[in-house]
Amino acid sequence: MTTTIFDAMAAQRNHATVGRHPAAAAAPAAASPAPDATASARAASSDVPPSPTGTQRLTFAKAITLGLRRALADDPKVLLMGEDIGRLGGVFRVTDGLQAEFGEDRVVDTPLAESGIVGTAIGLAMRGYRPVVEIQFDGFIFPAYDQITTQLAKMHYRSKGALQLPVVIRVPYGGGIGAVEHHSESPEVLFAHTAGLRVVTPSSPAEAYALIQQAITSPDPVLFFEPKGRYWEKGDVDLDAAAPAPHGSTATGMDSARVVRTGTDVTLVAYGPTVATAVKAAEAAAAEGTSIEVVDLRTLSPLDTATVAESVRRTGRCVVVHEAPVTYGSGAEVAARITEDCFFHLEAPVLRVGGFATPYPVAKIEHDYLPGLDRVLDAVDRALAF
Amino acid sequence: MLPAVEGGPLADEGLVQLLTPAGERVENPEYDRYVAHLSDDDLRAMYRDMVLTRRFDTEATALQRQGELALFAQALGQEAAQIGSGHALKPQDHVFPSYREHGVAHVRGVELAQVLRLFRGVDHGGWDPVAHGFHLYTLVIGSHTLHATGYAMGVQRDGLVGTGDDERDTAVVAYFGDGATSQGDVSEALVFAAVNDAPVVLFCQNNQWAISEPTTRQAAAPIAARAPGFGIPAVRVDGNDVLASYAVTAQALERARSGGGPTFVEAFTYRMGAHTTSDDPSRYRTSEQEEHWRRRDPIDRLRTYLESRGALPAEFVDALQAEADAFGERLRTQVRAMGHPSSASMFEHVYATPHAGVEADRAWFEKYESSFLDAREGSHR
Ligand SMILES: Cc1ncc(C[n+]2csc(CCOP(=O)(O)OP(=O)(O)O)c2C)c(N)n1
């Protein structure tokens, strides 16, 4: 045992601990833990250059970066936390450059401890901060599952509204990138099944830029699922259009689904990574004379059944597409609700296309697990055959 | 003092060392007895394993660059910690690795090509964990430290601890990184190991980095310092010294096998490569630091020592070189021959007994697949 070394280290550390935190000298920015304090504290920091404006062609990842950047610039209470998000810019580089710009106190490299990350984010939120947490990969959210479902989700309820926890948890999710196990999972439904959490997932760079800002301004905890297989895809983003909604308002559409493409024969419902697949399927079907409407759910909790139902009442047919296993999946929820709401308009049962009742398979065969164009069109054919 | 090493000012103090970085043998009254029996042949065997492990890293990295592997995590720089500790194991011992323990896998008789099945994306494992007493790699950081501890509790219940029979008494080792010690699971493993006196060695390879984060982002005191607080003795060892790694592990294993309970080992080493082939270490660390550690290369250290004793004859070196070349070539061939798993294989082994949900999905999938074969004859899609 090398106790003496440890003692020496401890002594040295205690000495160094005084005033260790650079912000310790200043008075706490939010003396009051009341969430409303954050609104009054909101102010653009003078030393942060203005956010970029205009319409730019950006990758999905970069659109999120700029959304985060804008949130950091707009609200001094916003802070990012996660493993490797600082100097490295995250393993997907979504936070690239943000630590250099906003400092180590706003963009925090955390210890390798997901429960710790979410648990401390809860405490920070109670103190008036708005932590945006990055979970490095979908399969590593589970060490934090307890904190998310037993604490984060329920604090507002338990405190009868006295405590708000505006925490955003960013999760790169989904497959198709040839990764090793635990790096391609789709656990979104576990969180949509947990009351108290909002669950959203963008499907394009423009959506991502807007939605991340709406998630950050949301007074409720938000699970923000990023389709990692789409990170490198580009799209036009209007950097001015998506100013964050005011606190307490979700009017800008975080809770709403969106019709991505109109059609008359079948409604394809998708979200996140499968929206692009659904659009491709619609294009392929159009060549064969079938007119497909594509609805992007955007949000799994709350589920915007109205937008889907409106579409299905017109088309009479509905196919839901997601990567997560079909069994007990989000497709089951959509199918049940559409059946209840649109029973007399349906020409066919609501069909589901998604992952199988197996763990996520090895990379070499993941394309057989993921719902691709063929499987989607096969389901469309089956729906039309009724 | 280590320049530009972010492990704190005392980072490399208190380390057990039997070979200096210059390859000179230093006496250590406590640990010398654990290496006294090692012959030159034994040391050459360790040298051979270190060289082959490094060759494995080089080949696998090249295979990844050629697109044959999706990803690879090198053990580069950690050979002494792995081979030294691995050689201290007995056949009946059990190892719970994380994902970079290729050297230990090799010592446990796992054919290293099998390890690459995981990185190629054709398998979630690749070897029989029972046959080798070497469990599957764990990608969720820290989880397996609890499995190792539980396994050790089983060994204890089976009466395989403290019998005095060298062939029976059994120990368990968990390998994990410095970053892993931040996980709750690892603290929980320390709790369970301590209160149960479990015959487990918690072997932390502190390679200074958890991807881009230095150890100082995980701990404000030496990693080993926390174990005594749980009631577990801890020792810090120079992880680039194969002899010291062997000795310290042998002592810890002996304690475990004899019923003395758990030990926490911090092997102070350095990850000389990238975290994985997807990582770019130039974003977060200096070439000066890398150069400092290159001068402390674990293989060079043992080579210098063996040479100074005249125990590394040219024939041995030449034969090893030839063996490494042949090994590299075999690896390339084996990897390229791994082929493609059948799509239906995803439905296998989900459960130990048939499960209606899986069977239904399998049936649907097979019918769907065969519809394509039919369709090819016709003109459908
Ligand atoms: C629970 C969990 N969180 C995050 C990751 C992603 N990840 C993989 S390796 C790694 C760093 C591990 O560092 P360390 O434990 O020091 O081991 P090393 O890689 O240095 O051997 C991280 C963050 C993971 N695999 N598991």
Do A181 and B224 lie within an 8 Å CB cutoff?
no
| Mean of per-residue pLDDT scores for chain B | 94
The per-residue pLDDT for A241 is 72
Which residues from chain B sit within 8 angstroms of residue A3, using beta carbons? 228
| Residue A227, pLDDT above cutoff 60 | yes
A183 noted as active-site residue: yes
Ligand 1 pocket by Cβ (under 6 Å):
A 83, 112, 114, 136, 140, 143; B 100, 139-141, 177-180, 207, 209-211, 271, 275
pLDDT (tens digit per residue) in A48-96: 667 788 999 999 999 999 999 999 999 999 999 999 999 999 999 999 9
Q: Do residues A29 and A76 touch, judged by C-beta distance below 8 A? A: yes
Residue A35 has pLDDT above 90, yes or no: no
Q: What is the pLDDT of residue B373?
A: 77
CB contact at 8 A, B226 and B219 = yes
Q: Which of B71, B100, B213 to mutate to probe the A interface, most A CBs <10 Å?
A: B213
Residue B135 bears catalytic tag: no
Q: State how far the Cα of B337 lies from the Cα of B357, in Å rounded to an integer.
A: 33
Per DSSP, the three-state class of A2 is coil
Q: What is the mean pLDDT of residues A327-345?
A: 98
Please list the residues that pair with A299 across neighbouring strands: A200
Q: Is the pLDDT of residue A225 over 80?
A: yes
Q: How do strand A299-301 and strand A198-200 relate by DSSP bridges?
A: antiparallel
Q: Which of B124, B157, B284, B294 is catalytic?
A: B284
Closest ligand 1 atom to B178 CA: 16
And the tokens for B374? 């039919």
pTM given for the model: 0.92
Mean pLDDT for the stretch of residues A293-317: 97
Q: Would you place residue A251 in the very low, low, confident or very high pLDDT band (cuts 50, 70, 90)?
A: low
Nearest-CA residue of chain B relative to A97? Answer: B283
**Confidence at A196, pLDDT banded by 50, 70, 90:** very high
CB spacing of A109 vs B217 below 8 angstroms: yes
A374 inside 8 A of chain B by CB = yes
SS3 content of chain B, % helix, strand, coil (to 5): 50, 10, 40
pLDDT at B126: 87
pLDDT confidence of residue B341: 95
Take residue A329 and report the two structure tokens written for it. 């999946």
Mean pLDDT of B164-178: 97
Please give the pLDDT value at position B46: 98
Contact (Cβ atoms closer than 8 angstroms) between residue A311 and residue A267: yes
Q: What is the DSSP string of A222-237?
A: EEEEEEGGGTT-EEEE
Cβ contacts of B371 on chain A, cutoff 8 Å: 378
* Secondary structure letter of residue B198 according to DSSP: -
**pLDDT confidence of residue A48:** 66
Is 0.85 exceeded by the ipTM?
A: yes
The reported pLDDT for the residue numbered A136 is: 98
Sign of CA dihedral B12, B17, B48, B254: negative
- DSSP 8-class letter at A152: I
Supply the residue whose CA is at minimum distance from atom 20 of ligand 1.
B210
Q: How many CA atoms lie within 13 A of B240 on its CB side?
A: 24
- For A84, which of B139, B212, B371 is closest by C-beta distance? B212
**CA neighbours within 13 Å on the CB side: how many for B77?**
23
A 242-281 residues with CB < 8 A to B: none
pLDDT higher than threshold 60 for residue B265: yes
Residue corresponding to tokens 């164009």: A373
Contact (CB, 8 A) for A170 and A226: yes
**pLDDT value at residue B10:** 54
Alpha carbon A377 to its chain centroid, in Å, reads: 27
Tell me the three state secondary structure of residue B309.
coil
pLDDT of amino acid B69: 97
Q: What is the pLDDT of residues B324-372, one digit of tens each?
A: 999 999 999 999 999 899 999 999 999 999 999 999 999 999 999 998 8
Sheet holding A107-109, edge to edge: A107-109, A78-82, A130-134, A168-173, A222-227, A198-200, A299-301
* A88 vs B: CB within 8 A: yes
Cβ–Cβ below 8 Å for A365 and B343: yes
Question: Residue A111 and residue B139: Cβ atoms within 8 Å?
Answer: no
Indicate yes or no: CB of B235 within 8 angstroms of CB of A375: no
Q: Give A 102-141 residues with CB within 8 A of chain B.
A: 109-116, 139-140
- Compute the distance from residue A261 Cα to the ligand 1 centre, in Å: 41
- Ligand 1 mean position, distance from CA B211 (Å): 7
What are the angstrom distances between the C-alpha of A290 and each of A267, A284, A314, A381, B59? 11, 9, 14, 10, 51
Please give, rounded to a whole number of angstroms, the shortest distance from the CA of A140 to a CA of chain B: 7
pLDDT confidence of residue A220: 96
> Looking up tokens 């989900």, which residue turns up?
B350
Specify the higher pLDDT residue, A51 or B109: B109
A9-34 tens-digit pLDDT: 444 554 443 344 544 444 444 433 44
Query: How does pLDDT run across A236-250, given as a tens digit for each residue?
Result: 999 987 566 554 554
What ligand 1 atom has the least distance to the C-alpha of B271? 20
pLDDT of residue A51: 76
Angle at the Cα of B180 from the Cα atoms of B88 and B52, rounded to 5 degrees: 40
Radius of gyration of chain B (CA): 22
Q: How far is A280 from chain B (nearest CA, A)?
A: 14
Contact A88 B10 (CB under 8 A): no
Q: Nearest to residue A223, comparing CAs of A116, A132, A125, A142?
A: A132
What's the gap between Cα A93 and its chain centre? 16
Q: What residues does A81 pair with on adjacent strands? A: A108, A133
Confidence at residue A15, expressed as pLDDT on a 0 to 100 scale: 43
Examine the pLDDT at A107 and tell me if it is beyond 70: yes
State the average pLDDT over residues A315-319: 98
pLDDT digits (tens, 9 = 90+) for B235-252: 999 999 999 999 999 999
- Residue range B297-306, pLDDT digits in tens: 999 999 999 9
Choice from A112, A133, A171 to test ligand 1 binding pocket (greatest atom count within 8 A of CB): A112
A143:B185 CB<8 A: yes
The size of the A-B interface in CB pairs under 8 A is: 152
Question: Residue holding tokens 């089976």?
Answer: B158
Closest chain B residue by Cα to residue A328: B357
**Residues B35/B246, Cβ–Cβ less than 8 Å:** yes
Instruction: Please state, in angstroms and as integers, the Cα–Cα distance from residue B215 to each residue in B97, B209, B224, B270, following that order.
Output: 20, 6, 12, 11
